[in-house]
């Protein structure tokens, strides 16, 4: 049994015994049945935060001491201090590598500490030897070396943070000068680690989820960065395909663990963004006004469609039929783009996209009702809210039209909510009325008469066992 459940049970057993619901013997039996509470091998998140907080405070203290006198040192003196800092952190890392086993929390802490010190060291270097961009080169060096550190220290967190740092790096002018290729190379550098990590049991579930979030976010940011630097023309189609690939990968890997959640979440978020943007006629007017579409865009669009096709094939094999309709957004977006290129009215395109979105939303609602899954109904609601919000900014509708429609939808939501709450309240009250009819009166250990009175509430078997236990002792 899980540790948290056992801890809860331990507390409850004491209360139940005191309340007279169970006997001491019952308590012992339940304890024996459930087994020992497993001891934690890794520190809790709270303890980990405290350790990290303490280390951070010490480092900040050192930093403040150094900052006060920093500029009184000569450039060479500052360079020496930086080298000393690096030597110390590398020494700590060596000690940790030598003394600890893979997957230990100390390794994670040492790796993150190396990353932070490397970041500070390169920042200080760019302060001593200023060459333009605040620390673009330094951040790049830190990312590469931290990913390497993640490999030999077997630290998932440092790789995750490196991927997040690559998002920050995209904002520097150094990244803009080097282009998007380098960001993709950084992600590729982390991919073998990620692949091995998912199969390796030394990594905790939390670390796997964290790296998954970081990876998917880094991929999306890199994609946006690529679009920005290359000036891609059919952004909406490419973004749709990326979102769908991410979502479908998450869907087909759902059974393998919770690490697939970021894929599904960010994939759906990307798709919602695309639906939001796609419902504006201006988006399609912009595509219609394009004079040329780059060959790279065609290549990316077709290759991503091919990947989606392959993923649909796997989705079909796993009998996730409803996801095929979500994947259908790829050809629909492709069709919309082609229509826009052929100068078809943007309004027609937005209507087509809206109809398809509503059809998929309706299918999800029906499936949710059919399978009694409220989670399936949530997605269409979010999609509808997304589409309604898009109208708030849509200049093709007058303020009067938008105002009235928003008030109407708002009232409908409120009325729906009131009905739902009223219905839920009724159910709760009905349940409470039934409970009041048979109150629990016992406070002491049940004796013969009391236990007979409460026999319908207390587990029959436990009373029998209790009696049997007493008889055995008497004998």
Partner 1 sequence: MNKFSYYLKSPWLYYLIVVILSVLSVVYMQQRYTTMLQGGAEYQWPVKVEYSTNWVPDDSLTIKFLGNKTSWIGEKQPSIGKPIYVALGVQPNGVLYVKNASDRKPLEGEYILATAEEYTDGLVEFSIPYNKVRVNLEKVNPIFYNGQYKGLLMATLKLKNGEAVVTGVYNQGISLELAEPSSDAELMNKKDALLLPSAIINEENKKTQTSY
Q: Binding residue for partner 1 (CB under 8 A) from 55, 92, 116, 148? A: 148
Residue 159 interacting with partner 1 (CB under 8 A): no
Q: Residue 28 or 173: which CB sits closer to partner 1?
A: 173
Number of C-alpha atoms within 13 angstroms, CB side, residue 271?
A: 29
194 CB-contact burial (10 Å; exposed 0-12 / middle 13-18 / buried 19+): buried
Piece of 142-150, 240-248, 359-367, 446-454 that binds partner 1 (CB under 8 A)? 142-150
Nearest to 327 by CA among 303, 356, 348, 298: 356
Judged by CB under 8 A, the chain residues 118 through 137 that form the site for partner 1 are 118, 121-122, 125-126, 128-133, 137
Q: Residue 149 or 283: which CB sits closer to partner 1?
A: 149
Name, in order, each residue with C-beta under 8 angstroms of 97's C-beta and a sequence gap of 6 or more. 107, 110, 152, 153
Q: Binding residue for partner 1 (CB under 8 A) from 20, 103, 138, 267? A: 138
Residue 151 interacting with partner 1 (CB under 8 A): yes
Nearest to 275 by CA among 391, 376, 377: 391
Judged by CB under 8 A, the chain residues 344 through 383 that form the site for partner 1 are none
- Residue 131: phi and psi, rounded to 5, are -135, 65
Residue 246 interacting with partner 1 (CB under 8 A): no
Residue 26 Cα distances to 362, 450, 473, angstroms: 52, 17, 15
* Cα–Cα dist 289/283, whole Å: 10
Q: Residue 177 or 369: which CB sits closer to partner 1?
A: 177
Q: Residue 141 or 366: which CB sits closer to partner 1?
A: 141
Instruction: State the minimum distance, in angstroms, from the CB of residue 268 to partner 1.
Output: 30
Q: Binding residue for partner 1 (CB under 8 A) from 149, 226, 246, 283? A: 149
> DSSP string spanning 252-313?
HTGGG-GGGHHHHHHHHHHHHHHHHHHTSHHHHHHHHT-S---HHHHHHHHHHHHHHHHHHH
**Torsion angle in degrees (nearest 10) through CA of 172, 177, 180, 181:** -130
Residue 106 interacting with partner 1 (CB under 8 A): no
How big is the site for partner 1, counted in residues (CB under 8 A)?
A: 39
Judged by CB under 8 A, the chain residues 83 through 102 that form the site for partner 1 are 83, 86, 90, 93-94, 97
Q: Binding residue for partner 1 (CB under 8 A) from 9, 59, 106, 141? A: 141
Residue 81 interacting with partner 1 (CB under 8 A): no
> DSSP H helical segments within 42-155, as ranges?
45-69, 75-99, 105-128, 136-153
Instruction: State the minimum distance, in angstroms, from the CB of residue 163 to partner 1.
Output: 18
Q: Binding residue for partner 1 (CB under 8 A) from 42, 56, 173, 427? A: 173
Residues 374 and 266: beta-carbon distance below 8 Å: no
Crossing angle of helices 261-278 and 205-230, in 10° steps, is: 30
Q: Binding residue for partner 1 (CB under 8 A) from 82, 271, 322, 361? A: 82
- Residue 89: phi and psi, rounded to 5, are -70, -35
Q: Residue 228 or 396: which CB sits closer to partner 1?
A: 228
Q: Residue 118 or 272: which CB sits closer to partner 1?
A: 118
Q: Residue 170 or 275: which CB sits closer to partner 1?
A: 170
Q: Binding residue for partner 1 (CB under 8 A) from 16, 79, 273, 325? A: 79
Name, in order, each residue with C-beta under 8 angstroms of 406's C-beta and a sequence gap of 6 or more. 388, 391, 392
Q: Residue 150 or 160: which CB sits closer to partner 1?
A: 150
Copy the structure tokens of residue 248. Answer: 């479908």
**Which residues are at the interface with partner 1 (CB under 8 A)?**
67-68, 70-71, 75, 79, 82-83, 86, 90, 93-94, 97, 118, 121-122, 125-126, 128-133, 137-138, 141, 144-145, 148-149, 151-153, 173, 176-177, 228, 231
């Amino acid at each position: 049994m899980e540790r948290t459940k056992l801890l809860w049970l331990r507390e409850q057993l004491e209360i139940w015994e005191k309340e007279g619901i169970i006997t001491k013997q019952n308590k012992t039996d339940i304890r024996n049945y459930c087994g020992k509470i497993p001891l934690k091998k890794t520190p809790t998140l709270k303890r980990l935060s405290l350790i990290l907080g303490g280390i951070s405070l010490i480092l900040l203290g050192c930093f403040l001491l150094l900052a006060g006198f920093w500029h009184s040192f000569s450039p060479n003196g500052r360079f020496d201090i930086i080298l000393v800092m690096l030597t110390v952190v590398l020494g700590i890392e060596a000690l940790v590598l030598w003394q600890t086993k893979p997957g230990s929390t100390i390794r994670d802490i040492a790796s993150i500490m190396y990353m932070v010190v490397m970041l500070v060291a390169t920042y200080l270097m760019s302060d001593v030897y200023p060459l333009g961009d605040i620390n673009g080169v330094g951040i790049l060096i830190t990312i590469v070396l931290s990913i390497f550190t993640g490999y030999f220290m077997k630290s998932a967190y440092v790789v995750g943070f490196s991927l997040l740092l690559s998002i920050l790096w995209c904002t520097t002018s150094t990244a803009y000068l080097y282009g998007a290729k380098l960001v993709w190379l950084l992600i590729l550098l982390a991919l073998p680690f990620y692949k091995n990590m998912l199969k390796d049991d030394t990594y905790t579930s939390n670390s796997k989820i964290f790296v998954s979030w970081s990876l998917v976010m880094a991929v999306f940011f890199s994609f946006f960065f690529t679009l920005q630097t290359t000036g891609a023309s059919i952004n909406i189609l490419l973004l749709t395909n990326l979102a769908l690939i991410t979502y479908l990968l998450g869907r087909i890997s759902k059974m393998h663990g919770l690490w697939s959640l970021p894929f599904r979440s960010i994939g759906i978020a990307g798709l919602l963004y695309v639906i939001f943007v796609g419902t504006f006629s201006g988006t399609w007017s912009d595509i219609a006004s394009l004079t040329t579409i780059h060959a790279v865009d065609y290549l990316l669009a077709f290759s991503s469609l091919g990947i989606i096709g392959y993923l649909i094939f796997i989705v079909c094999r796993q009998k996730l039929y409803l996801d095929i309709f979500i994947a259908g957004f790829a050809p629909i977006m492709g069709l919309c783009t082609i229509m826009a290129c052929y100068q078809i009215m943007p309004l027609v395109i937005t209507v087509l996209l809206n109809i398809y979105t509503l059809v998929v939303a309706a299918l999800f609602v029906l499936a949710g009702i059919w399978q009694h899954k409220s989670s399936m109904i949530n997605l269409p609601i979010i999609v509808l809210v997304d589409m309604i919000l898009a109208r708030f900014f849509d200049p093709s509708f007058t303020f009067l039209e938008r105002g009235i429609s928003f008030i109407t939808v708002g009232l409908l939501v409120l009325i729906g909510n009131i009905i739902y709450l009223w219905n839920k309240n009724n159910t709760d009250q009905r349940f409470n009325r039934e409970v009041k009819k048979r109150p629990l009166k016992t406070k002491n250990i049940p004796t013969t008469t009391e236990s007979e009175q409460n026999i319908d509430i207390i587990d029959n078997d436990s009373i029998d066992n209790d009696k049997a236990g007493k008889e055995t002792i008497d004998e």
